[in-house]
Structure 1
Amino acid sequence: MASRAVPTIDPGSGSQRARHETPGRRVAVLAGAGLLVIAALGAFGGLVVVERLVTDGDAGRTAADITGSPGLFGLGVAALYVVALLDVVVAWALLRFFEPVDSHLARLSAYLRVAYAAVFTVAISQLAGVPGILEQDGGAFSTDQLQAQALAKTGVFHDVWLAGLVLFGAHLAVLGLLVLRSAAAPRVIGILLGVAGAGYVFDTFYAVLRPDATLEVSTVTFVGEFLLALWLVVKGGRVFIAGDSR
């Protein structure tokens, strides 16, 4: 009876593959978790704190609400600063994860997000200066003037942040293209990321052209960001992103 060759398995191949895929999995989880934390902290700082304590056109009420809840306002500003920091971390993680797809686009996407984070930090600094203005007692300015200055700073925060959203929208558009070029990520996420990016850019230019309008399409088109975060945490990096498997 002819002997049959028994296939052998290289004991090092599995460990080499694990070592190859593990970094991609780690940066995927880091990016996805970072995006989810950004969403939570951004909602707290922007909606729970800023939107709640700042009343457009009413300097007196805004001053009373902020001075009446100094701890909450401080936590909201701190949360937004953390968001800006996490944007840089997420930019790095997404760069590492999508670099095998297209290194040039991955770098562009990362640079755009870091640039947005820098603009956002400048915007947040305007909010950080509000309590100091309201705590002034006497001096060259009256109470009404100080309250007006504080309200003006919240307006500058919004305007600078809105300008930065053009960069963020461009980042999402490039990121969506990377997802579409990837063989691992679902194409629908890439399409929705492109829609989300267009939504942010639309909001910025619409606010410039129609300053009295309150339309914000990004409150609807953000779904792509959330789906990308979930995919990165659950499945991202489990297969080599430049491969053909899904």
Structure 2
Amino acid sequence: MRTNNNMQRKAAVISGIALLIMTIAAFFAQGYVHSSLVVKGDAVTTLENIQASQSLFRLQILGWLIIVITDLIVSWGFYVFLKPFHREYALLAGWLRLLYTAILAIAVSHLVVANSTLQESVIGEALGNMPQQVMWSITAFEAIWSVGLIIFGLHLITVGLVVMKTKHIPKVISILVFLAGFSYSLIHFMYGFIPQLEGFTQILEMTLMAPMFIGELGFGIWLLVKGKKLSMDD
């Protein structure tokens, strides 16, 4: 039992640290670089932005690779931490996150393709269809990642259900995690399968942005600060 307690505490701390690193990397890769370089529907301007900031674009890819690695760590950490509360749900949550991470890795590979397209271009060569090629890779990244976020939402819903089953974790944490998961799955399902409601989906995403952000990050901070003190005497 003492060994299990120690593993659970270590998993809490490692998961909390990984989530914080992931949040910083996501802010940089998606919140700063991707949003500033990519102009939706304008392949030429997007290509010009990336050509003017190729190092920044490559740093974005590095940021996503860090996110993939930390996602793998969190998959393990969440499973170890949650297993004493509900083994089956913890295992399901772990597999869902691994599936999401695999989908994210496939999505990021398209950014690598976009970077390779840029590197293979000859300086002074006419643009030709290069803007469309680069934009296609970026659009593929966004579309595949969006599908992955439906799975990610299901992962958070499962985590929220497990967290609800223990009296040691504040109920507000479980509610926020569950709400974040529901929001991710709903919004990205609508983006992927009900594109005619894109305008409404964007408004809904802005409305649910706070719980989507606070849910998992709040749980990560709680794991780092309080989780390591948790006793498995439910």
Cα displacement string for residues 166-225 of structure 1 (whole angstroms, at most 9, x for unaligned residues): 110000000001110012111111111110011001111221313542332552222111
Q: Distance in 1 between matches of 2:225 and 2:121?
A: 53
Comparing 167-176 and 211-220, the one that deviates more: 211-220
Q: Distance in 2 between matches of 1:119 and 1:192?
A: 24
Pick aligned residue for 2:226 from 232, 235, 238: 235
Check 1:177–1:134 CA distance in 2 against 1; reply closer, same or farther (3 A cut). Answer: same
Query: Which protein is richer in helix relative to its size?
Result: 2
Q: Distance in 2 between matches of 1:61 and 1:144?
A: 14
Pick aligned residue for 2:211 from 210, 215, 221: 221
Cα displacement string for residues 137-165 of structure 1 (whole angstroms, at most 9, x for unaligned residues): 47xx9614111110111111110000001
Q: Distance in 1 between matches of 2:66 and 2:119?
A: 25
Asked whether the equivalents of residues 95 and 107 of structure 1 are also in contact (C-alpha less than 8 Å), the reply is yes
Cα displacement string for residues 103-127 of structure 1 (whole angstroms, at most 9, x for unaligned residues): 1110000000000000000001111
Amino acid at match of 1:235: K
Q: Distance in 2 between matches of 1:205 and 1:72?
A: 30
Aligned to 1:4: none
Aligned to 1:149: 133
Aligned to 1:115: 99
Asked whether the equivalents of residues 21 and 238 of structure 1 are also in contact (C-alpha less than 8 Å), the reply is no
Check 1:135–1:24 CA distance in 2 against 1; reply closer, same or farther (3 A cut). Answer: closer
Amino acid at match of 1:152: W
Aligned to 2:34: 50
Amino acid at match of 1:164: G
Comparing 77-86 and 213-222, the one that deviates more: 213-222
Amino acid at match of 2:70: L
1:33 is aligned to 2:24: no
In percent, how many aligned pairs have the same letter? 29
Aligned to 1:10: none
Amino acid at match of 1:37: I
Comparing 26-35 and 112-121, the one that deviates more: 26-35
Amino acid at match of 1:171: H
1:130 is aligned to 2:114: yes
Aligned to 1:7: none
* Cα deviation, residue 33, structure 1: 1.0
Q: Distance in 2 between matches of 1:240 and 1:201?
A: 32
Cα displacement string for residues 42-89 of structure 1 (whole angstroms, at most 9, x for unaligned residues): 111111111111111111111111111111111111110110111111
1:186 is aligned to 2:170: yes
What TM-score results when the alignment is normalised by the length of structure 1?
0.86
Structure possessing the higher radius of gyration over alpha carbons: 1
1:88 is aligned to 2:72: yes
Check 1:150–1:20 CA distance in 2 against 1; reply closer, same or farther (3 A cut). Answer: closer
User: The residue matched to 1:129 in structure 2 has which SS?
Assistant: helix
1:167 is aligned to 2:151: yes
Q: Distance in 1 between matches of 2:132 and 2:216?
A: 36
What TM-score results when the alignment is normalised by the length of structure 2?
0.90
Aligned residues, how many?
225
Question: What stretches of structure 1 move > 4 A for 4+ residues in a row?
Answer: none
